[in-house]
Amino acid sequence: MKRAIFPGSFDPITLGHVSVIKRGLPLFDELIIAIGVNSNKKAMFSLEKRKKWIEEIFAGEQKIKVETYEGLTVDYCKKIGAKFILRGLRTSADFEFERGIGQVNRMLAEEIETIFILTEAKYTPVSSSIVRDIIKHGGDITGLVPDTVKP
Ligand code: ADP
């Protein structure tokens, strides 16, 4: 059973996330979209809302589950028996950031492998923080997030 997690804040989930999830799915038997609860980071959307949106988007996809977790990502992986962490890469800045996290995670838990998927070119500029900014200023987020995401 190849179990992977796709960890993130998903505040809110974007079409960039959805693309990475769909493309990563054939690699694994089960993919858990794991919403990390970070008490230092004030989210725009409640955990319940973020989780509900993701569940709606992937309703009917048997291999996908949506969960929340607190603490270290590798500890959560160990707890649920996940051997893979899926992450998306947009830019060289993402790469540097992810390299650090990925390498330290490996120091903490050698048996867990991080797998990277490159963003589709059209989603390179899409991020949850840009979406939040547009929402804050009353702009249109069509084309950046799935239709299910209704602020
Ligand atoms: P975090 O809170 O850890 O930054 P996010 O919720 O922003 O997490 O994103 C989770 C994962 O999705 C990260 O690996 C991030 O690089 C990736 N990701 C975010 N936006 C995109 C995108 N537009 N295309 C591809 N991957 C993305």
Residue 82, domain CATH: 3.40.50.620
Q: List the catalytic residues.
A: 17, 41, 90, 128
SS3 state of residue 91: coil
Is 64's C-beta closer than 6 angstroms to any atom of ligand 1? no
- Gyration radius of the chain's alpha carbons: 15
With respect to residue 151, please indicate whether it lies within any of the assigned structural domains. no
Distance 132 CA to ligand 1 centre (A): 14
Is 128's C-beta closer than 6 angstroms to any atom of ligand 1? yes
Tracing tokens 């919403």 back to the chain, one arrives at 35
- Please count the structural domains in the chain: 1
Is 94's C-beta closer than 6 angstroms to any atom of ligand 1? yes
Yes or no: say if 67 and 34 are a contact pair by the CB < 8 Å rule.
yes
What CA–CA distance (Å, rounded) separates 59 from 78?
26
Residue 41: its pLDDT value, please? Answer: 80
SS3 state of residue 121: helix
Half-sphere exposure of 99 (CA within 13 A, CB side): 7
SS3 state of residue 103: helix
Residue 40: its pLDDT value, please? Answer: 81
With respect to residue 43, please indicate whether it lies within any of the assigned structural domains. yes
pTM (2 d.p.): 0.96
With respect to residue 45, please indicate whether it lies within any of the assigned structural domains. yes
Amino acid identity for residue 4 in this structure:
A
With respect to residue 143, please indicate whether it lies within any of the assigned structural domains. no
With respect to residue 50, please indicate whether it lies within any of the assigned structural domains. yes
pLDDT digit of tens for each residue in the chain (151 aa)? 999 999 999 999 999 999 999 999 999 999 999 999 987 889 999 999 999 999 999 999 999 999 999 999 999 999 999 999 999 999 999 999 999 999 999 999 999 999 999 999 999 999 999 999 999 999 999 999 999 999 8
Domain that holds residue 46: 3-136
